[in-house]
């Protein structure tokens, strides 16, 4: 198909928008179409920069009339570059960026294009917080529609558990409100598989008092992983819902491989110090320490260093049933194997309030999970086939205790197996609901729920 360019159809459509239309050849096309993961250099046919819900309605109708696939972009951080599709009409929500906080009702109402950092900053200014991930650049709706977890999740649940109401543009261009009492099936699907059923233009979220937070990082040489990870496993058993401890194993050429605890306690400093202190007592360390944490700074400093702009990324992940001895042996061996390569492997601490929700009551099914495991590779220029093969080896080695995958870490290129891993026990209901809300399978740029007649292999 030839690249799209300005024509009369486009002009008439663009003239009716509050936002704007960008097509190949326009000066800002390349910048508008770029996504975080440079491994995906998709060229869409057009990008509709929406400023209103009416713009989104017009964009859905225009794309369908033109026979174009539709993809939806919020923060642009989908691992598989799903929000900017090859040859697609991209519905760019970045212009829907308003945030209104109602302190009395303890709610925040935000546009579908708001990024996490903006929400965290605005809420903190009013002494409030809600569940987000750690990276300020990630879109709130992209994160929440797949589940979403971070600093507050063990106390308050997933980001999708904070959703009270959503305004959604459906595939036929109609606008509906989804809540526990209006379109409850749609509301169910939004909370874990939301990218499949429509375009969310507005979200109403539950917010909480901003807690005081104590924590930071503490690192050891990763050559001691076989000794430290069993201690970590036992330590997690002692923790309440107010404490979250991730562990990252990092290697890079010509540096010590490190094993770093990223630990946070919601509570006063003396309490936090008492809870987290054991992490600093396991022998000779590479340093670090814990102190009072500024929540806004925490979310604006950390991830940009680990995931800078301008890189290609490959992520593989499983939710784990357990960090058993075999998994620890695998992770320890993996570090030894890759000391001269840039790699990052993290165990994400889940459980707590995330697990006190019935797995069938939202589309996010993985409620019993205690740990998520992620391997992340990043590079510039050509990928290293040996590094990618090593990551696949590690993914296979970790598979025996896998309970499924986090949809937000999966790429469409991971295939039908990843669809089953992402939706597990809720896949059947999702297939029925996708057929009801998106009968022509318009929203397919993500980890797409297959048609009921095409069960995934």
Ligand X SMILES: Cc1cc2nc3c(=O)[nH]c(=O)nc-3n(C[C@H](O)[C@H](O)[C@H](O)COP(=O)(O)OP(=O)(O)OC[C@H]3O[C@@H](n4cnc5c(N)ncnc54)[C@H](O)[C@@H]3O)c2cc1C
Chain positions contacting ligand X, by CB under 6 A:
36, 71-79, 82-83, 93, 112, 133-135, 138-139, 141-143, 145-146, 148-150, 194-195, 199-200, 303, 307, 408, 445-446
- In the complex with ligand X, the residue whose CB is nearer, 91 or 331, is 91
**Segment (H or E) for 6:** none
Tokens describing residue 243:
């404490």
CA 304 to chain centre: 15
Question: Tokens in use for 444?
Answer: 């397919």
**452 Cβ neighbours under 8 A, 6+ residues apart:** 431, 432, 435
Q: How far is the CB of 196 from ligand X (least distance, A)?
A: 8
Tokens for 207, please give them: 């917010």
Q: Write down the least CB distance from residue 96 to ligand X, Å.
A: 8
**Pair 51, 201: CB distance under 8 Å:** no
Number of H-type helices and E-type strands within the chain: 14, 19
Distance CA(127)–CA(210), nearest Å, equals 5
Q: How far is the CB of 69 from ligand X (least distance, A)?
A: 11
Minimum separation from the CB atom of position 447 to ligand X (A): 7
CA distances from 406 to 146, 373, 423 (A): 8, 10, 9
- How far apart are alpha carbons 93 and 127 in whole angstroms? 27
- Least separation, in Å, of the C-beta of 201 and ligand X? 7
Nearest to 349 by CA among 264, 258, 419: 264
State the minimum distance, in angstroms, from the CB of residue 404 to ligand X: 15
3-class SS at 114?
coil
| Residue 373 CB neighbours (<10 A) | 23
Give me the least distance between CB of 85 and ligand X, in Å please: 9
The least CB distance from residue 147 to ligand X, in Å, is 6
Query: Closer to ligand X at the Cβ: 34 or 221?
Result: 34
Give min distance, CB of 150 to ligand X, in A: 5
Kindly state the smallest distance separating residue 128's Cβ from ligand X, in Å: 19
Which tokens belong to 407? 């949809």
Q: Give the residue carrying structure tokens 């995931």.
A: 307
Of 46 and 199, which has the nearer Cβ to ligand X? Answer: 199
Name the 3-class secondary structure at 271: helix
Structure token pair of residue 169: 């543009």
Q: Which is nearer to ligand X, 303 or 438 (CB)?
A: 303
Distance CA 369, CA 147 (A): 13
Q: Which is nearer to ligand X, 400 or 416 (CB)?
A: 416
Nearer to ligand X, 328 or 403 (CB): 403
Cβ nearer to ligand X, comparing 197 with 328 = 197
Q: Of the two residues 168 and 328, which places its CB atom closer to ligand X in the complex?
A: 168
Nearest alpha-carbon partner for 264 in 205, 328, 352: 352
Question: Of the two residues 93 and 419, which places its CB atom closer to ligand X in the complex?
Answer: 93
> Tokens 């109402």 correspond to what residue?
109
From the CB of 307, what's the least distance to ligand X, in Å? Answer: 4
Determine the Cα angle at 380 with ends 374 and 384, to 5°. Answer: 65
Q: Rounded to an integer, what distance in angstroms lies between the CA atom of residue 375 and that of residue 103? A: 39
Other C-beta atoms closer than 10 Å to the C-beta of 136 total 22
Residue with smaller CB distance to ligand X, 220 or 409: 409
**Closest CB 144 distance from ligand X, rounded Å:** 8
- Please identify, using beta-carbon distances, which residue of 112 and 272 lies nearer to ligand X: 112
Whichever of 214 and 307 has its CB closer to ligand X, that residue is 307
Write out 31-66 in H/E/C secondary structure.
Answer: HHHCCCCCCCCCCCCEEEECCCHHHHHHHHHHHHHC
Whether the CB-CB separation of 161 and 99 falls below 8 Å is answered with no
């Amino acid at each position: 198909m030839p690249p799209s360019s300005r024509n009369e159809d486009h002009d008439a459509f663009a003239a009716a928008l509050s936002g704007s239309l960008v097509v190949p050849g326009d000066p800002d096309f390349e910048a508008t179409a770029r996504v975080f993961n440079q491994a995906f250099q998709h060229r869409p046919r057009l990008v509709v920069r929406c400023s209103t819900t009416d713009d989104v309605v017009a964009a859905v109708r225009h794309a369908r009339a033109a026979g174009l696939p539709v993809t939806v972009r919020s923060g642009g951080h989908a691992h598989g570059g799903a929000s900017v599709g090859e040859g697609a009409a991209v519905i760019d929500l970045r212009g829907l960026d308003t945030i209104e906080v109602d302190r009395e009702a303890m709610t925040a109402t935000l546009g579908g294009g708001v990024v996490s950092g903006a929400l965290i900053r605005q809420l903190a200014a009013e002494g409030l917080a809600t569940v987000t991930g750690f990276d300020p650049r990630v879109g709130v709706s992209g994160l929440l529609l797949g589940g979403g977890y971070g600093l507050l999740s063990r106390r308050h649940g997933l980001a999708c558990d904070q959703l009270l109401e959503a305004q959604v543009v459906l595939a036929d261009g109609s606008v509906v409100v989804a809540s526990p009492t209006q379109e409850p099936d749609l509301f169910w699907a939004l909370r874990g598989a939301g990218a499949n059923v429509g375009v969310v233009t507005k979200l109403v979220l539950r917010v909480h008092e901003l807690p005081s937070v104590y924590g930071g990082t503490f690192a050891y040489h990763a050559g001691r992983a076989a000794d430290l990870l069993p201690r970590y496993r036992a330590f997690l058993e002692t923790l309440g819902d107010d404490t979250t401890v991730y562990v990252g194993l990092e290697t890079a050429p010509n540096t010590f491989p490190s094993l770093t605890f990223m630990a946070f306690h919601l509570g006063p400093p003396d309490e936090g110090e008492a809870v987290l202190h054991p992490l600093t007592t396991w022998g000779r360390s590479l340093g670090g320490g814990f102190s009072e944490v500024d929540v806004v700074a925490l979310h604006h400093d950390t991830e940009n260093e680990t995931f800078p702009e301008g890189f290609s990324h490959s992520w593989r992940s499983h939710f784990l049933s357990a960090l058993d001895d075999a998994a620890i042996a695998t992770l320890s061996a993996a570090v030894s194997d890759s000391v001269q390569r840039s790699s990052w492997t993290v165990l994400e601490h889940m459980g707590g309030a995330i697990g006190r929700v019935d797995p069938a009551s939202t589309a996010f099914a993985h409620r019993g999970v205690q740990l998520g495991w992620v391997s992340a590779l990043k590079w510039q220029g050509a990928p290293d086939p040996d590094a990618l093969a090593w990551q696949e080896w590690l993914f296979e080695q970790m598979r025996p205790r896998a309970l499924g995958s986090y949809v937000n870490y999966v790429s469409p290129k991971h295939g039908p197996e990843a669809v089953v891993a992402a939706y597990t026990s809720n896949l059947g209901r999702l297939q029925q609901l996708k057929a009801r809300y998106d009968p022509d399978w318009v929203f397919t740029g993500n980890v797409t729920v297959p048609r009921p007649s095409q069960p995934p292999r």
